[in-house]
Amino acid sequence: MSDSKINMVAPPEGVVGEGFFATRLNDVVGLARANSLWPLPFATSCCGIEFMATMASHYDLARFGSERVSFSPRQADMLLVMGTISKKMAPILRQVYEQMAEPRWVIAVGACATSGGIFDTYSVLQGIDKVIPVDVYVPGCPPRPEQIVDGVMRLQELVKNESVRRRSSPEYQELLASYNIQ
């Protein structure tokens, strides 16, 4: 093997030296965003208790990059809506969503947040997607902590594969316009 001569090909122009990345900027930004989601819990009933169990030591959502739970919409990028949302609460939920900085993502946790649950009445919102756009739905009444962790992991995959410029795309602006959000 020592007698054989290995021919090394020179790298192409502009692919060596300082500032060269072996990946795309979208991938790096997506990986950083996916592993540093700051959750904002909007809990109104029993699903909030399951979220507390998810954040506790046994399930530990911090392992997935959601260490810092934020109770201020301006410091969060992942809104977890858990529990029954009444129609009187819908404007407050929308205001909380609008106060969050871009990029922002929403997880609807439990049957009540996703579809109104067993409360098919005049006063209960039949799914938060009537008020704000939802990225991930977590089913269950109430969902187990494992399901909430799975929902966060699905959101991480969505965030990881999302283009950096998706939030300024005409399609996204059209989606926000359908909810009357600037």
Q: pTM here?
A: 0.83
Neighbouring residues of 37: CB distance < 8 A, sequence distance ≥ 6 = 64, 65, 66, 77, 78, 105, 152, 155, 156, 159
In a domain, 98, yes or no: yes
In a domain, 138, yes or no: yes
How many distinct structural domains can be found in the chain? 1
The DSSP string of 27-86 is HHHHHHHHT---EEEEE-SHHHHHHHHHHSTTT-GGGGT-----SSGGG-SEEEEES--B
In a domain, 140, yes or no: yes
Tens-place pLDDT, residues 169-179: 899 999 999 99
List the CATH number of the domain containing 137: 3.40.50.12280
In a domain, 3, yes or no: no
Token output for 165: 């410029």
| Domain limits for position 103 | 38-158+168-178
- Asked whether the predicted pLDDT for residue 164 surpasses 90, the reply is no
Report the pLDDT value the prediction gives residue 15, as an integer from 0 to 100.
65
The Cα–Cα gap between 162 and 160 comes to 6
In a domain, 18, yes or no: no
